[in-house]
Amino acid sequence: MTPATMPLRLKLLLPTEVLIEQAIQKLIAESPHGSFCLRPRHQDWVTALVPGLLSFVDLQGQEHFVAVDEGHLVKCGDQVLVSCGRASISPSLGQVRQTVEQEFLQRDAREERAHAVLMRLEALFVQRFAKI
């Protein structure tokens, strides 16, 4: 294979697992400065990712869609590492919205409830500490 046809190696890392590890032709994602596309011969770089859609084309030409939370992307040589707190693969673009609503929004509600409990515990701690 020539350098122009060598695939990228995508690895998408979550806090508890490696969600994706495969060879790809190209990747499209979104940074705070807008959308971008990576191909094998592109320059190495690092960027933050915003919550949204990441898509990639595998070696068979099939496009895949992943809903991602905030994260970071590093391209070094033929390696593309994506690290984010949450991500979910969807078989089609039409199902991405449903996946995001079901998984991300439910998690956000749980996180808000947990944050409220922690705030109450902190307030109780401060009150009791003030009494001492």
What digits encode the pLDDT tens for the residues 9-31? 999 999 999 999 999 999 999 99
Domain for residue 20, yes or no? yes
The CATH number covering residue 103 comes to 2.60.15.10
Domain total of the chain: 1
Residue 127 and residue 122: Cα distance in Å, rounded?
Answer: 9
Three-state SS for 128?
helix
Bridge-based pairing state of the strands 79-84 and 71-76: antiparallel
Helix and strand tally (H, E) in the chain? 2, 9
Domain for residue 1, yes or no? no
Sole residue written with tokens 């068979």: 60
Domain with 94 in it: 8-131
Domain for residue 110, yes or no? yes
Length of the chain: 132
pLDDT in tens, 108-128: 666 677 667 777 777 777 777
Sole residue written with tokens 């947990």: 114
